[in-house]
Amino acid sequence: MTGLIVSAALAAAAPAHASVESGLEQQVAGLTKQVTGLTREIGSFFGFGGDQANNPTDPAPVAEHKTPQPRELAARPIQAVPVAHATLAAPDVPGADRDKPRTEKGFKKFFCVEYARLRSGLAVFGDAKHWWERARTLYARVAHPVEDAVMVFSGSKRLKRGHVAVVTEVVSDREIIVDHANWQNKREIDLGTPVLDVSPKNDWTMVRVWDIPSGQFGARTYAVSGFITKGLIREARNN
């Protein structure tokens, strides 16, 4: 009789026990989800995490111009022209001593934002597309490039989290040289990368970026929010 009473009591308590276990499992699952989300947000804030690696390679470079067919030229005699003895200086070719665009592996694999922070010293955090707004009250923001500034690419369908690059040289009012990371989606460092301003008003709102693998400018254009700087503004070297 006693055994039957105990069995009945356990049977009655079983649903309640199962309900408690189910409730605990749901709480644990919810807490795990919150911790995972918080970890992802912290990683994104500092520029870490796999989701940050969505900056584009540029697999559609501008097609090279077709070489025109040679024309038949009539031969003509060459006349000797007397040359006065003089010392001729070699022509000055802007950027002739500049290193070619190249890809290097750093001491670690970089995302674009952490590399830009390291190179520039700017204490701006979060996705690259947010840098322009977050720097509003922290640093000087300019519309045209200056050396050592950070160029901020706007977010877009292709650049979901934007992109940032450090300006190393202002070549002209239409061309600059930048160093940046993770443009090829390999978390690599691209050095000496030319960037062209292709905006109709020459206001640096649209650019094309040099494609290192193909050795030419990419065909795609990218929107730029502007340039963030905390140092002295230096003019282009060839102005």
Write down the domain spans for the chain. 2-46, 103-229
| Extended beta strands in 14-162, E state | 102-104, 140-142, 150-153
Supply angle C-alpha 102, 107, 110, rounded to 5.
Answer: 70
pTM above threshold 0.85? no
From first to last of its 239 residues, the chain has per-residue pLDDT tens of: 555 555 555 555 556 555 666 666 665 555 554 444 444 445 455 555 554 445 566 656 655 444 444 455 555 555 544 444 433 333 333 444 568 999 998 788 999 999 999 999 999 999 999 999 999 999 999 999 999 999 999 999 889 999 999 999 999 999 999 999 999 999 999 999 999 999 999 999 999 999 999 999 999 999 999 999 985 444 444 44
Tell me the C-alpha distance between 147 and 153, whole Å.
16
| Extended beta strands in 121-219, E state | 140-142, 150-153, 163-170, 175-181, 189-197, 206-211, 216-217
Output DSSP code: residue 31.
Answer: H
Q: Which CATH number fits domain 103-229: 3.20.20.150, 2.60.40.10, 3.90.1720.10, 3.40.120.10?
A: 3.90.1720.10
